[in-house]
Amino acid sequence: MKVFLTGGSGYVGQAVITALMRHGHTVEALARSETAAGVVGALGAVPVTGGLGDLEVLRAAAARTDAVIHLAQATSAEEDLAAASSMQDSIGSGTYVHTGGTWVYGDTEGVVDETAPWNPPALVAWRQAVEEAVLRRASSGGRPVIVQPGLVYGGENRLIDAFYTSPGKAAGAIPCIGDGDNHWALVHIEDIARLYVAALGAVAGSVYVGVSGVNPTAREVAFSVAAAAGLEGKVAQITLEKAREQMGPVADAFALDQQLSPARARAALGWEPRHTDPLTDLAQG
């Protein structure tokens, strides 16, 4: 299958390209710079010069492929929807896989799945209108699929790294917001990449959360990261207000209490997370 990918030079994108190539797919990847083109080219993908705002480039690339996986982070809901609409217009009945995220469910109050109501923090509230528009294409012959990754870890993780490079670490301890009793819905980078590949064969209109099903507390994660950093047992509590000062709105997302199940993806796609001991993975660096 020929697949066009946005965000291919990013953390998740590189893993997805690798997984696609491993499964025998050919890949074209959007690249907005020479550096990005070099990254995706080294992985075996054909670079397509342009950015998310280059709608004609997106249309042309989607039209000559069998499927699209949209991973690039947009700067606004308007940019994301314009890019998604352009690619969906051109892909026709080919599969279009759109990226969401589990933060949109807010505090889950126990284990939930894709049927849970949305209660997003301000940071990701814009996603709902975009995802609803993407899914509406299923009623007119399109094949939209949405993958909502949990908090991705493993390899060179930029998001979790950003959280743990706060002043708490500089002071010789790993930070934890409040008491850290809130749960994080984690997924390993290799597992989420495999889910994107599996989603190419999903039924139109499907939504899948990409999580391991293991939802440790933020405090447990902090202790594992401390062990990996050579700071065994050194975890420092910081207030949500302090975290907001250091990180901005994303602090509220890290403070969410989320537990999610991967049962739907298991049943429908045969996707099985292989990394089911995230605390050990994190403690090993």
* Per-residue pLDDT reduced to its tens digit, 146-188: 999 999 999 876 566 667 765 445 568 888 999 999 999 999 9
Q: Mean of the per-residue pLDDT values for the chain?
A: 94
Dihedral sign, CA of 230, 236, 239, 241? negative
Per-residue three-class SS string for 155-191: CCCHHHHHHHCCHHHHCCCEEEECCCCCECCEEEHHH
- DSSP secondary structure code for residue 217 in this structure: B
As given in the structure block, the two tokens for residue 197 are 């590949």
Does 254 fall in a domain?
no
Distance in Å from the first CA to the final CA of the chain = 35
Instruction: Assess if residue 265 is contained within a domain.
Output: no
Residue at 216 is within a domain: no
**Secondary structure element (H or E) that encloses residue 128, with its range:** helix 127-136
Percentage of the chain surpassing pLDDT 90?
A: 87
Residue 28 belongs to domain with CATH number: 3.40.50.720
> Would 122 be classed as within a structural domain?
yes
283 pLDDT higher than 60: yes
The single-letter DSSP state of residue 116 is S
pLDDT on residue 167: 47
| Choice among 126-130, 164-168, 263-267, 274-278 with the minimum mean pLDDT | 164-168
Tens-place pLDDT, residues 16-52:
999 999 999 999 999 999 999 999 999 999 999 999 9
| 6 domain residue, yes or no | yes
Name the E strands within the chain: 2-6, 26-31, 46-49, 67-70, 95-99, 111-112, 143-149, 151-153, 174-177, 186-188, 206-210, 235-238, 259-260
Whether 194 is in a domain gets the answer yes
Calpha distance 103→126 (Å, rounded)? 12
Work out whether strand 26-31 and strand 143-149 pair parallel, antiparallel, or are unpaired: unpaired
Is residue 178 included in any domain, yes or no?
no
As for how many domains the chain has, the answer is 1
CA angle 276-279-281, nearest 5°?
Answer: 75
Q: For residue 205, give its domain range.
A: 2-152+186-211
Residue 107 lies in a domain: yes
Bridge partners (DSSP) of residue 96 are 68, 144
- The Cα–Cα gap between 15 and 192 comes to 9
Nearest to 222 by CA among 273, 269, 160: 160
Helix (H, G, I), strand (E, B) or coil at 141: coil
